[in-house]
Amino acid sequence: MLRLSTLALLACSVPALAQEINVYSHRQPELIQPLVDAFTAETGIAVNVAFVDKGMAERLQAEGDRSPADLVLTVDIARLLQIVEADVLQPVQSDVLEANIPAELRDPNDLWFGLTSRARIVYASKDRVAPGEVTTYEDLASDKWKGRLCTRSGLHDYNVALLGAMVVHHDEAYATTWAEGLKANLARKPDGGDRDQVKAIAAGECDIALGNTYYMGQMLADPEQVPAAESVNIVFPTFEAGGTHLNISGVAMTKSAPNRENALKFMEWLSGDTAQKIYAETNYEFPVKAGVERSELVKSWGEFTPDTTPLAAIAATRGAAVKIMETVNFDG
Q: Does the predicted TM-score (pTM) go above 0.85? A: yes
Instruction: Return the pLDDT at 18.
Output: 54
Domains of the chain with CATH codes = 3-117+247-292 (3.40.190.10), 118-245+305-327 (3.40.190.10)
Q: Which segments of 193-275 are extended strands (E)?
A: 208-212, 232-235, 246-254
Q: How far apart are CA 242 and CA 169, in angstroms?
A: 8
pLDDT band at 75 (very low <50, low <70, confident <90, very high): confident
Question: Mean per-residue pLDDT for 195-206?
Answer: 98
pLDDT by residue (tens digit) across 148-177? Answer: 999 999 999 999 999 999 999 999 999 999
Residue 40 is predicted with a pLDDT of: 96
Range 215-226 average pLDDT? 96
**Residue 12 confidence class, pLDDT cut points 50, 70, 90:** very low
> Following CA atoms 202, 204, 206, 209 in sequence, which dihedral angle do they give, to the nearest 10 degrees?
0
Q: How far apart are CA 262 and CA 254, in angstroms?
A: 13
Q: Is the pLDDT of residue 101 over 60?
A: yes
* pLDDT tens digits for range 18-41: 589 999 998 877 788 999 999 999
Cα–chain center distance at 190: 20
168, 164, 148, 166: which is closest to 210 by C-alpha?
148
